[in-house]
Structure 1
Amino acid sequence: KQALKDKAKGKNKGQQVFVIDFDGDIKASAVKHLREEISTLISTANEGDEVVVRLESPGGLVHGYGLAAAQLARLKDAGLKLTVCVDKVAASGGYMMACVADNIVAAPFAVIGSIGVVSQLPNFHKWLKNHDVDYEMFTAGDYKRTVTVFGENDAKDRAKYQAELEQTHELFKHFVNRYRSVLDLDKVATGEHWYGEDALHLNLVDKLQTSDSYLLELMANNEV
């Protein structure tokens, strides 16, 4: 009993470590809870304490994951150390969040990267035309709509839409470079993804380890 008390006493001498989970869907719906958790942490944690985010996400909508990444940045702005642990996947918007961290810890076969932008949609124009169905769309502004699901898309529509995707990709790369300047963006911002060991060689992550192992290490000398 005395040994356990001494061990517990030793833990209290270390820093506090807070653990939160983010399980991301295509809309980054979990950001609703994430922002509340982060506000609570900022108001209660001490400067220098560590926050470990166990992150799992294949990515999704740009604005949703942009907000989620900005929420994580609040932790660093408040003087807290941020570690992101990835056991399975942090790709696209998921990696946008992860790259904010001071340290990224990934399991050996976690899927990492996918710094790119994708958009796809069906087009029913030919089917409607073959069935004598007219489709009309009215807009104000040259580019209120570009490509469309039901109308006929021309080269100008496609070029504008592609330009918008390229612009989003450039913003993504700029964001990643801001928080993880060690990356060679020419190599990693191709939309490809890598498994943990290769991601480590490319500096996409800092360490290969499961979140369980990392947290157990912290528990030895800190209050988790």
Structure 2
Amino acid sequence: MSVADKLTSRLPMIGERGERKDVVAVVKLHGVITPTPSPLARGSINLAAVESALTRAFAHERLKAVALQINSPGGAPTQSGLVAERIRQLADEKNVPVLAFAEDVAASGGYWLACAADEIYAHRTSMVGSIGVISGGFGFTGLLERFGIERRLHTAGANKSRLDPFSPEKPEDVEWLKKMHGQLHDLFVDWVTERRGERLSGSDDLFNGDVWLGARAVELGLIDGVGSLRQVITERYPDAEISVAEPKKPLLARLGIGAPAAASALLDAVQHKAAWSRFGL
């Protein structure tokens, strides 16, 4: 047999190639949910950052399901809603199931994202829930007085300077903030109720802002079972391959160029650390 014949014999004939496997696409949603990510903090989540990954995940030709790998202590409610709505839009367009998997924590806005899935799973040590609203800040009035610094603030509109950190806190401003929190909390509860439906236990503690470990979260109906991503996906789709869709980073971000001012970035990093620290992470 000639060399050419030997080479030709090794080429696969038409129809001999194995069929392409089905795909379960994985999208990693890791970090604090914020519209302004910090280069000094751990990863962050917002619609602009994850849009490319979501689009690629739902674009596979032989897509069987999309898995959301969530590790987030929460953050901005608007970005939580935008990302969750985009996931539902793509899922409905492609008519594929979405499964969410909590890692260390899927709390507050992180749980909001998980509820975009048709089913939610968590590790037995995962912290899940925190269906509530929180905001925080600092008051610097004493610091200004100590150094003899005069605060000059001019506004048009009686409420333009609500909760200014350099001015004394006003009871009416705190009451306004509490009302805003209450409205956001109602929206959060409505979203969880819409997505989880009759699976929720109806416990009085369900929407009080607490977090629970995996097994208790199952009892409350916040999640559908205890298990890891590979465990559940392997059992559910044994013949499918897992494909991870990573978000594309802008060129300047990959080069470390275009970071915000050091002081601002450091403050963002502290705030991100505080969000994780509430869950001991």
TM-score range relative to shorter protein:
0.7 to 0.9
Specify the alignment match of 1:77 in structure 2. 92
2:183 corresponds to which of 167, 175, 183: 167
Specify the alignment match of 1:195 in structure 2. 213
* Gap runs ≥5 in structure 1: 1-7
Residues in 1 aligned to 2:186 and 2:160: alpha-carbon distance in whole angstroms: 22
Q: Report how far residue 66 of structure 1 moved.
A: 2.1
Q: Secondary structure at the match of 1:112?
A: strand
Residues in 2 aligned to 1:219 and 1:144: alpha-carbon distance in whole angstroms: 55
Q: How many residues align?
A: 214
- Paired AA for residue 215 in structure 2: E
Q: Secondary structure at the match of 2:101?
A: strand
Residues in 2 aligned to 1:213 and 1:119: alpha-carbon distance in whole angstroms: 37
Residues in 1 aligned to 2:233 and 2:116: alpha-carbon distance in whole angstroms: 19
Q: Report how far residue 206 of structure 1 moved.
A: 0.1
Specify the alignment match of 1:110 in structure 2. 126
Q: Report how far residue 84 of structure 1 moved.
A: 0.5
- Paired AA for residue 193 in structure 2: N
The worse-fitting range, judged by mean Cα deviation, of 145-154 and 195-204 is 145-154
2:225 corresponds to which of 194, 207, 214: 207
Q: Secondary structure at the match of 2:164?
A: coil
- Paired AA for residue 188 in structure 1: L
Q: Are residue 64 (structure 1) and residue 79 (structure 2) matched? A: yes
Specify the alignment match of 1:5 in structure 2. none
Q: Which has the larger radius of gyration?
A: 2
Report matched runs for 1:172-187 at 5 Å. Answer: 172-182=188-198, 183=200, 184=202, 186-187=204-205
Q: Are residue 216 (structure 1) and residue 231 (structure 2) matched? A: no
Report matched runs for 1:130-145 at 5 Å. Answer: 130-145=146-161
Q: Are residue 89 (structure 1) and residue 96 (structure 2) matched? A: no
Contact 2:46 2:80 in 1 (8 A): no
> For the aligned residues, what is the CA RMSD?
2.5
Q: Are residue 153 (structure 1) and residue 169 (structure 2) matched? A: yes
Q: Report how far residue 26 of structure 1 moved.
A: 4.3
Contact 2:127 2:214 in 1 (8 A): yes
Normalising by structure 1, what TM-score?
0.84
- Paired AA for residue 213 in structure 2: Y
CA deviation profile, 1:66-90 (whole Å, cap 9, x unmatched): 2222222123322121001112210
The worse-fitting range, judged by mean Cα deviation, of 201-210 and 169-178 is 169-178
The worse-fitting range, judged by mean Cα deviation, of 74-83 and 189-198 is 74-83
Specify the alignment match of 1:55 in structure 2. 70
Q: Secondary structure at the match of 1:153?
A: coil
Q: Secondary structure at the match of 1:133?
A: coil
Q: Report how far residue 10 of structure 1 moved.
A: 8.9
Specify the alignment match of 2:52 in structure 1. 36
Contact 1:82 1:103 in 2 (8 A): yes
Q: Report how far residue 57 of structure 1 moved.
A: 0.8
Q: Report how far residue 24 of structure 1 moved.
A: 2.1
| Identity in percent | 27
Residues in 2 aligned to 1:187 and 1:9: alpha-carbon distance in whole angstroms: 53
Q: Report how far residue 17 of structure 1 moved.
A: 1.9
Residues in 2 aligned to 1:203 and 1:141: alpha-carbon distance in whole angstroms: 46
Q: Secondary structure at the match of 2:205?
A: helix
- Paired AA for residue 116 in structure 1: G
